[in-house]
Chains A and B, each alone.
Chain A
């Protein structure tokens, strides 16, 4: 019975893609962005500002999109973002099997 219940709950889980965009909090110098900005200007582009952020794409299973976002938030706080310097934005979409 227990195994049956587990299988049912497993089948009820959906696959989601959580995109976590980790960027520097305002007030901190984005030195990588500044280097790129400088080069872009050298290449003749009139850019005003360049910031660099990191996007993590995580495929996960959850009962709902809300639950998937909660899970992604936990991952972000535990590993992906450093609260001393980083902000993060999470975007969750349902995964479509190819």
Chain B
């Protein structure tokens, strides 16, 4: 498939706020990008017409109940059949920040049990408590399973911003270690917070900005087709989005976020 024929659908709902930036990032890569409100998708669109679905950041439905919970149930009720068909064909989905929370609430991540429509893990309130908005370092921990990072070298360090109050990954307290092992065995851990030199954050604030378990910032499903991450790659697309943008030493016009988008576009181009 040619890059210009790839169709990306960015799904928005009440409270979505990062759809335009995400669309801009994909447009920059030369793919067809549409921002669709969920109600528009319900009435006159088919998700199967798209090669990539993106759930962008924001606070959908006011983050009521739990962030992403209402949007996930709404998606399931209104578009559940299409989403099942879409994921059964192993087509890719990207969830950024609130999109990640929605994928977890939907049960698509981590997706240990097939056709599970209940959350198996959770993204909950940060420790220290409160909204965190800062740049972080991330290490690509994936060994090649994830379609969004498999062309990046293992241990590649990326710099991106976060902006959330509930980004702390929490597993069932009584089976924390088994679940972590399961994530590792299936190569589902994608990004972990780290120091600038790549050494582990080891739960140290603010390197690990939200107290997330095992410093995890992003995970994928077993098939590697669905990625959820708390950092915002769309806010790290261009050099001028970086906090040190006035520094004249930037050698490329792009920043690290582009690598994630580019990676999945390359995979769609070669696979479909």
A interface residues with partner B (beta carbon < 8 Å): 25-29, 31-32, 34-35, 77-80, 82-85
Contacts and interface: CB of A to CB of B under 8 A. Distances in A.
Contacts of B173: 25-28
B124 interface: yes
A82 B129 contact: no
A35 to B, nearest CB: 5
B266 interface: no
B120 A84 contact: yes
Interface residues of B, number: 24
Contacts of B31: none
23 contacts: A25-B173, A26-B173, A27-B174, A28-B170, A31-B127, A31-B129, A32-B125, A32-B129, A77-B118, A78-B73, A79-B69, A79-B70, A80-B65, A82-B105, A82-B122, A83-B118, A83-B119, A84-B119, A84-B120, A84-B121, A84-B171, A85-B170, A85-B172
Contacts of B36: none
A31 B128 contact: yes
A27 B176 CA distance: 11
A82 B125 contact: no
A84 B69 CA distance: 13
A24 to B, nearest CB: 8
Given A27-B174, A28-B173, A85 B129 contact: no
A84 to B, nearest CB: 5
B129 A35 contact: yes
Interface of B: 65-66, 69-70, 73, 105, 118-122, 124-130, 170-174, 211
Secondary structure of the B contact surface, majority rule = loop
Nearest to B66: A82
Nearest to B176: A27
B96 to A, nearest CB: 20
A77 B66 CA distance: 13
With a 10 A CB-CB cut-off, give which of A29, A34, A35, A84 has the most chain B CB atoms.
A84
Contact of B170 (A35, A78, A79, A84): A84
A49 B7 CA distance: 52
A32 B170 CA distance: 15
Contacts of A77: 118
Contacts of B127: 29, 31
Given A79-B69, A80-B65, A85 B122 contact: yes
B167 to A, nearest CB: 12
Given A28-B170, A84-B170, A84-B172, A79 B73 contact: yes
Contacts of B105: 82
A39 B12 CA distance: 38
Contacts of A78: 73, 118
A25 B105 CA distance: 18
Contacts of B70: 79
A79 B69 CA distance: 7
Contacts of A82: 66, 69, 105, 119, 122
- 4 tightest CB-CB pairs across the interface, nearest first? A27-B173, A31-B129, A35-B129, A84-B122
Nearest to B118: A83
